[in-house]
Amino acid sequence: MTPAWRCDTAQYVPTKPQNSTKVRWNTIKNNMPVRTFHTVRCSVVSENVVRAAQTFQELAVQAKVQTNLRVCRSTHASMGLVTSDQVAKGDVLMRVPTTAAIVLDYSSGLRLPAFARWPRLRGSAAGSSDPLPWDILQALALVDGLAGDGGEFWQRYCDELLPAPEQLTLPMCWEAPRLAELQHSDIAQAAAAQQARLTALFPELMEPLAPDVPGWLQWAFACVRSRAFRVGTDAFAFIPFLDFANHAAAPANGQPTPTTNSTTGSLIANADFRMSATTSKVEEGRGGDDESFFELVALREIAPGEEATICYSGPEGYTNQRYMAQYGFVPRGGNPADRIRLDLDAEHQAAPLELARLQDLMGDGLFLAALRGTDPYLFAALKSLPLKDEDPRVMDAASIHHRTATRGDSSERTAISLLRQVEAQISEGTTLLEDDELMLAGSAGEQLFVENPRLAAAVAYRIERKRLLTTTATLLRAYAH
């Protein structure tokens, strides 16, 4: 089965129409819901999960969704999908009619659920001389849905099943003081730039709902960015119900799919998403138009009560900065695909570090740990550095005894220069790594994720970043001295 990963929204940057003509809105705020914002407590979250599970089942019946999955409190997110029965490899866990989704296909146009006005979406599509990107259009559709202009189904789905604005963990939904909690200027600046682009397009929809609470367009765009699917080369869909599937690491290509990675302990995705072939109701004796479905399919046997997960990133993975910016979380315990941004000038590129020398400095044990992925921080650190000739991904255990390390002043100068850059990034931290780790340790950490998910997400991000920076700095110091 060809995987269809969660959407890559990073390549679609919303731009202001060149003629600066603003789309006029007849109703923007009048029919938007009024919310009371408050601190979330554990008991409230449990009640919300119960209500969401009931709403999920009611709306699934209304949308003619076929599934044996139910909403439950997730082990690594607020809510997820768990199986009710034993599932065999290849079984379809969920079938959502394509007519229930919001689909934008650049080859065939916009497909919306019928019997609704969708005024903001249709108005922006017709009123702008420059085509708006798909993610902006789908965000406007969610605003329409929440306001009741996309029909009763979408009003309930947006209001009762999508995350509340004050709970969103994507940095583009945060104000400056909260962005500072990330302790990383690059991701904070990118989030502020995204906010500015959205404000330039639709200032009325970007007004904060309350202090430290994003506006409705930020809420909708964040939901699209983190929950939409790519369903074709130039086709994108916001698929209700399937968007509840949480992330886990990609299974190895062509290999059996275990529950967890044997070396890192991270969860391995046990399901994947696909679009089914169109079926004919006439041929099946039911009458009516042809239909097709978005499906969630099991990649292995899944036990009753086990969460169904998919991989958002594909087999190559994403950096933590991208995970955080697009989905509002980072893989905890190390991410082999993470990288440190280093500015490499011509001198650095002409005198890269020697992998054999790094091997001697680390010793064969640590070096093998990096190659095998048992130390994802060490692997990510090595992949962040300019290395001479060899690639740690293609080396094997048999090759480590056949290399000779050499010393060279030029590569040592490169190490010293890169160390200064890494130390400058470490200095952005305003808290100690040990204190951050204590905040997320044990039951207190679990409670923080429930009561203040935005702070917990920021702390998790800076913990992973500090661990990688510290590992990289240690390697460079040893190399330079």
Residue 305 has a pLDDT of 94
Residues 6+ apart with CB under 8 A from 18: 129, 130
Nearest partner of 132 among 202, 195, 190, judged by Cα? 202
Beta carbons of 272 and 299 less than 8 angstroms apart: yes
Q: What is the rounded distance in angstroms from the CA atom of residue 143 to the CA atom of residue 123?
A: 13
From residue 361, alpha-carbon distances to 178, 261, 349, 393, 414 in Å are: 40, 28, 21, 19, 16
Cα–Cα distance for residue pair 88/467, rounded to 1 Å: 39
What are the Cα distances from residue 325, in Å, to 128, 252, 298, 349, 376?
Answer: 27, 25, 28, 29, 21
Rounded to 5 degrees, φ, ψ at 109 are 100, -165
* Ranges of the chain with pLDDT below 70: 1-45, 75-77, 127-129, 253-266, 278-290, 389-408
Per-residue pLDDT, 324: 98
Query: Edge-to-edge strands of the sheet including 92-97?
Result: 66-67, 92-97, 293-298, 271-275
Q: Which CATH architecture has domain 9-327?
A: Alpha-Beta Complex (3.90)
Q: Quick one: pLDDT at residue 61?
A: 97
- CB–CB of 312/320 below 8 Å? no
pLDDT of residue 291: 84
What is the structure's pLDDT at 349?
A: 83
**pLDDT of res. 108:** 87
What backbone phi and psi angles, to 5 degrees, belong to 142? -70, -35
Specify the domain boundaries for CATH 3.90.1410.10 within the chain. Answer: 9-327
